[in-house]
Copies of this chain bind each other. A is one copy, B any other.
Amino acid sequence: MEENQKKSALKEKDGIPQPEILNASSVQKVLLKRKNQPSAEELIAGILAQDKVALSRAITLVESTNIEHLAKANEIINGCLPHANQSIRIGITGVPGVGKSTFIEAFGKYLTSIGKKVAVLAVDPSSTISHGSILGDKTRMEELVKDENAFIRPSASGETLGGVARKTRETIILCEACGFDTIIIETVGVGQSETAVHSMVDFFLLLKISGAGDELQGIKRGIMEMADTIVINKADGDNVAKAKLAKTEFNRALHLFPAKSSGWIPNVTTCSAFEKTGIDNVWKIIADYFELVKSNNYFEEKRQNQNQFWMMETINEQLKSHFYTHPEISSLLEENKKAVQSNEISPFAAAMNLLEKYFK
């Protein structure tokens, strides 16, 4: 029975809220609450009282595509907003195989051990197809999932990166209102998700392993430039020397990049998430960063810019979506694409054909 409950808690998408912590009392609470759907006010009050069950249910509403849930979700978000924005937000990326889960487990446990409250979220639009490739398997973070000062939530599923990103942004607000002071957003270093994550976090950490060349291939161009720090994981056993060499190489490469507007100079460090060594140093780097950007006002400025960016981004996404789902446009689009492909008309003339139709 205990085992069964555990299993069910690992599932990602049931359509119904799942308890996030696995002790009997909270399971009871959920079962009780499920009977009478709590109102937006009740959920806000629960979140502000740092109740993780209320938080989970509110996130489920945010992630829902049901139109009634949307209105309720907006009410909750607006209620939480005045209490949000107090955390630090850290993005972590790295290709599969660098040990992201193990790192986040070790890093998260370190953070709670020094008194932090840690929420771990993920942005992975591919999870719609793969049913949650990252953070889906919570057993990989066995220790952290049981930690009462930690909260782990798999990636929202969604058709588009824009949709997933929106839900994650709103989930950050809820987690912050619930008292989590350190938000970790995980993503895989292979798609466009990094740019989305980069624009919702304060600090961007790129996780790598040593061994020059090959494993770099999986990292999308431009990601190295986004990194505020590069952490070379698996610096243990026979790997220590190789990791140190990689550290020197990456430090040299980072040196060639232009200065960051934060005034921060990105650096490289090594760690072993498995042996739990070097984790304190990663935190030291991050703490140094926040000391710098809070004193030079870059922190506040960047958050304001991110908010503006997300407002504009949402508008632009919706304008496009309205256009491309317009019934008359989609067939005309194919026609014009073909004409462009065969050099019959210029890309601009094709665009104008479509726009004329749309605005008429």
Name A residues whose Cβ lies closer than 8 Å to a Cβ of B.
74, 77-78, 81-82, 84-85, 166, 169-170, 173, 213, 216-222, 224-225, 249-250, 252-253, 255-259, 304, 307-312, 314-316, 318-320, 322-323, 336-337, 340-341, 343-352, 354-355, 359
> Interface of chain A, helix or strand or loop or mixed?
helix
Identify the closest chain B residue to A74 (Cβ).
B349
Q: How many copies of the polypeptide does the oligomer hold?
A: 2
Given the known inter-chain contacts A252-B252, A315-B323, please indicate yes or no for A310 contacting B347, CB distance below 8 A. yes
Identify the closest chain B residue to A344 (Cβ).
B81
From B81, B219, B319, B346, A258 is in contact (CB under 8 Å) with B219
Given the known inter-chain contacts A169-B348, A319-B319, A343-B84, please indicate yes or no for A257 contacting B311, CB distance below 8 A. no
Give the residue among A250, A318, A343, A348 with the most B Cβ atoms within 10 A: A348
Q: Cβ of A259: which chain B residues have Cβ within 8 Å of it?
A: 217
List the 10 closest A-B pairs by CB distance, nearest first.
A314-B351, A310-B347, A311-B347, A253-B256, A319-B319, A315-B351, A221-B225, A307-B347, A311-B350, A307-B340
Q: Write the nearest CB–CB distance from A323 to chain B, whole angstroms.
A: 6
A-B contact sample (6 more), CB < 8 A, given A307-B347, A311-B350: A81-B346, A82-B343, A307-B340, A314-B347, A315-B354, A319-B319
Identify the closest chain B residue to A314 (Cβ).
B351
Distance of A359 Cα from B304 Cα, bound (Å): 27
Q: Cβ of A225: which chain B residues have Cβ within 8 Å of it?
A: 221-222, 225
A311 near B351 with CB under 8 A, answer yes
Q: Cβ of A249: which chain B residues have Cβ within 8 Å of it?
A: 252, 256
Identify the closest chain B residue to A345 (Cβ).
B78
Distance of A216 Cα from B254 Cα, bound (Å): 12
A340 near B320 with CB under 8 A, answer no
B343 near A224 with CB under 8 A, answer no
From B84, B218, B224, B343, A85 is in contact (CB under 8 Å) with B343
From B82, B320, B359, A316 is in contact (CB under 8 Å) with B320
B220 near A258 with CB under 8 A, answer yes
Distance of A224 Cα from B309 Cα, bound (Å): 25
Q: Write the nearest CB–CB distance from A75 to chain B, whole angstroms.
A: 10
Q: Cβ of A220: which chain B residues have Cβ within 8 Å of it?
A: 258
Q: Write the nearest CB–CB distance from A247 to chain B, whole angstroms.
A: 13
B341 near A304 with CB under 8 A, answer yes
Q: Cβ of A217: which chain B residues have Cβ within 8 Å of it?
A: 258-259
Distance of A259 Cα from B347 Cα, bound (Å): 29
Distance of A289 Cα from B351 Cα, bound (Å): 31
Distance of A138 Cα from B1 Cα, bound (Å): 83
Distance of A354 Cα from B313 Cα, bound (Å): 13
Distance of A219 Cα from B257 Cα, bound (Å): 9
Q: Cβ of A308: which chain B residues have Cβ within 8 Å of it?
A: 337, 340, 347
